[in-house]
């Protein structure tokens, strides 16, 4: 490890359309990821809402 040689990258040559295709793939991959995150957040919000709703009903004074 003491004989490590430093490396400097001077240039990366990537064609424009290749970068466009990568960005399109990322956009398509983001759709199911977003759906999964929305489902997880909805379940978490529903759970917290149910727990707090039950707690708030127990804390409320009885109706006359």
Count of residues for the chain?
64
Q: Say yes or no to pLDDT of 55 above 90.
A: no
Q: Comparing 1 with 53, which gets the higher pLDDT?
A: 53
Per residue in 1-48, pLDDT (tens digit) is: 567 888 888 988 999 999 999 999 999 999 999 999 999 999 999 998
pTM, entire model: 0.58
Question: Which string of DSSP letters, residue by residue, matches 23-43?
Answer: HHHHHHHHHHHHHHHHHHHHH
Closest residue by Cα to residue 48 from 58, 56, 37? 56
For residue 53, what pLDDT is reported?
76
Structure tokens at 27: 């956009």
> Could you identify the residue written with the tokens 């978490």?
44
């Amino acid at each position: 490890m003491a004989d490590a040689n430093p490396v400097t990258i001077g240039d990366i040559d990537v064609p424009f359309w290749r970068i466009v295709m990568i960005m399109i793939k990322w956009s398509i991959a983001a759709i199911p990821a977003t759906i999964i995150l929305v489902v997880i957040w909805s379940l978490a919000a529903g759970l917290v809402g149910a727990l707090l709703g039950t707690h708030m009903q127990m804390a409320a004074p009885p109706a006359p």
